[in-house]
Amino acid sequence: MPATALDSAIFRDIFTTPEMRRVFSDEQRTAYYLEIEAALARVQGRLGIIPAEAAREIDGKCRIENIDLVKLKAQTERVGYPILGVVQQIVALCDKGLGEWCHWGATTQDITDTATIMQVRAALELVDAEIEKIAVALAALSRRYRDTPMAGRSNLQQAVPITFGFKTASLLAAFQRHRQRLKELRPRVLVGEFAGAAGTLASLGGDGLKVQAALMDELKLGQPEIAWHTVRDRIGEVGAFLALVTGTAGKISTDVKLLMQTEVAEVFEPFHEARGSSSTMPQKRNPISCLYIHATASLVRQNAAALFEAAVADHERSTGPWEIEWIALPEIFLLTSGALAQTRLLLEGLQVDEKRMRDNLDMTLGMIVSEAVMMGLGPYLGRQRAHDLVYDICREVVRTGTPLVDLLAANAEISKHLKRGDLEKMCDPANYLGLAGEMVDRVLAREKH
């Protein structure tokens, strides 16, 4: 029966997605094994390495519906690997002993690694699609809130004003970089494996590289320059990439959680009845997607570290590190799909309270723009004197609750140089947004939507 959050009938569609589970299912993985064995037979038949009749017979029998998965489970437990069981079943299905030509010149890891890369290819398509949808959502938020002032925060304290569009555009820029990373890594990663026992293709003599090239062409994968049975940087790179992607999703969830706090209340997750409700506190509206994103992103990073452990393999065929990937890589993709799906849901329905953002800007009675005041006074008083004077006045704001602009206007040293109207403009957070809008525009210009 299901025992983990990734296969639980209750939790699985929270922490992952049906589409990603399908890619890493027993059925799909075995179907990839069969696709590779069929392609190998076809290629070797064309090249005259195995009889054409055998190639046709093997090709015709390599269908997932022909495989007894219960029997394959028993074969795998006995042998230790599933490939021999698959080959044995295909051999038994073929007429006239022609199945004996199946798996000609291949080794178990060739088929396993190539199938893994085919899973990675399909899984990255799903990741790519989610990244694209997240980028669309972030672009829409960046356009809509390009000029909406809010407090920028440093060490959880109000720092200087920014815009909400600036905040979302900085995240959009990260996903643009993720798209570029994905584009760049595909040629490096989507490379098959067909190298034989120790990687030299010795069993096929002088035909080995011809078979390898034709097989990879058949499977639409890159041809390896040399065997990579125990050189696992390709798999590690995939894990590192997904750790970066989900790390950005985790950043989004962290900011939204903090902005949803009662005392802040500037943005909220999408709402429907009972979502985020408490069993004991009827007033509460808890973050939900943020929590799932945080959990899944954290586990992706942990599993990515496991892939780096798997890279430390021994000699030409390893004794254990390889099997780490069997466990960690599917979980990384499954958890990534959950994190990205929850991120998309969060962003597509994000509720933004612009009034509350403005109220929070004003809660410090103007002190959030103390830097602007200091810089505005600098040409008249010198930067250091302006800093010290504004510092003292800010302490007075805290002590008395008097707005900053009133204390500035009442200060004789300042009023000699600036009128109250000038000071009011200087103390308006909406007038101290720097080049936020222009930076948002630069990021949006890179989107095709």
Is residue 416 within 8 Å of residue 377, measured between CB atoms? no
Instruction: Give the 3-state secondary structure of 297-330.
Output: HHHHHHHHHHHHHHCCCCCCCCCCHHHHHHHHHH
- Within 339-424, strands assigned E span 351-352
Give catalytic residue positions.
278, 317
Alpha-carbon dihedral angle through residues 237, 243, 245, 251, given to the nearest 10 degrees: -160
Task: Say what the pLDDT of residue 272 is.
Answer: 73
On the CB side of 188, how many CA atoms lie within 13 Å of its CA? 13
Strands 157-163 and 149-154: antiparallel
The CA–CA distances, whole Å, from 104 to 45, 110, 208 equal 11, 12, 11
From the list 146, 147, 150, 145, the residue with the least C-alpha distance to 362 is: 150
Domain ranges of the chain: 18-106+204-215, 107-147+163-193+228-353+436-449, 358-435
Fold of 18-106+204-215: Fumarase C; Chain B, domain 1 (1.10.275)
Task: Say what the pLDDT of residue 3 is.
Answer: 87
Task: Say what the pLDDT of residue 429 is.
Answer: 93
Task: Say what the pLDDT of residue 9 is.
Answer: 92
Task: Say what the pLDDT of residue 320 is.
Answer: 86
User: Tokens standing for 131?
Assistant: 């990244």
Q: Where are the alpha helices (DSSP H) in 145-207?
A: 164-189
Task: Say what the pLDDT of residue 448 is.
Answer: 75
List per-block mean pLDDT (blocks of 10 residues) for the chain, which spans 449 residues: 90 95 97 98 97 97 97 96 96 95 96 98 98 98 98 94 98 98 98 96 95 98 97 97 98 97 94 64 80 97 96 92 95 98 97 97 93 92 93 94 94 91 92 96 89
- The DSSP output letter for 279 is S
CATH of domain 358-435: 1.10.40.30
Alpha-carbon dihedral angle through residues 374, 376, 378, 379, given to the nearest 10 degrees: 180
Task: Say what the pLDDT of residue 273 is.
Answer: 66
Name the amino acid, one letter, at 87.
V
Task: Say what the pLDDT of residue 275 is.
Answer: 67
**Residue 13 neighbours by CB distance under 10 Å:** 13
From the list 402, 403, 449, 444, the residue with the least C-alpha distance to 426 is: 403
CA distance 111 to 97: 22
22-47 per-residue burial string, b: 16 or more CB within 10 A, e: under 16: ebbeeebbbbbbbbbbbbbbbbbbee
CA distance 222 to 207: 18
Task: Say what the pLDDT of residue 282 is.
Answer: 65
Fold of 107-147+163-193+228-353+436-449: Fumarase C; Chain A, domain 2 (1.20.200)
CA distance 103 to 406: 85
Task: Say what the pLDDT of residue 123 is.
Answer: 98
Task: Say what the pLDDT of residue 1 is.
Answer: 84
Q: At 127, which helix (H) or strand (E)? A: helix 108-144
